[in-house]
Homo-oligomer: A and B are copies of this chain.
C-alpha cells in the first residue's frame, strides 16, 4: 500500500528512465507542494541537463497514472503532491502560503450526501479552506 513511486511505475507499466527516477525521488522527499518551477529547480540540482519540458511531461504522466495529484490553488501556478492512500484536503494560509493538510470524515460524508441528493455519484471533489492565523491572545 505504501509503494514507492518507482514501484508504482513498474506495476503500471511506466518506463523508468533516469529523469523520471530523479523526479520521483524529489517528489517523494518533498513535504510541501511544489509547482513545476520549484520541482525543476530541485531536480536540476541533481541532474542539470534535465529540461523543464521533461518535468512538465513527467508530472502530467504521473498524474494520469495516479502517482501525483495536481492542485490549482487560488491565483497561483499548479502544484503537485504525491498521492497516498488517505485522502486529505487543504487549509491555505492566505498571508504566508503555508499549506496544512487535514481530514474531516464528516465533511466527506456530507459531500457524498449532497451529490446523491442531486442524483449523482461523487467521483472526485476539491475542498480548499483559506484562512488567516488567529492572534494568540
Contacts and interface: CB of A to CB of B under 8 A. Distances in A.
Interface of A: 72, 74, 91, 93-94, 100, 102, 104, 106-107, 110-111, 114-115, 117-134
Interface of chain A, main secondary structure: strand
Stoichiometry, copies per complex: 2
Given A114-B129, A126-B126, A129-B115, A120 B106 contact: no
B94 A123 contact: yes
Contacts of A134: 119-121
Contacts of A131: 115, 118, 120-123
A98 to B, nearest CB: 10
A33 B110 CA distance: 25
B107 A120 contact: no
Contacts of A74: 72, 124, 126
A62 B132 CA distance: 24
Contacts of A124: 74, 94, 129-130
Contacts of A104: 110, 114
B127 A132 contact: no
Contact of A111 (B94, B119, B129): B129
12 contacts: A100-B118, A102-B114, A111-B129, A115-B129, A118-B131, A120-B129, A120-B134, A125-B127, A125-B128, A125-B129, A125-B130, A126-B126
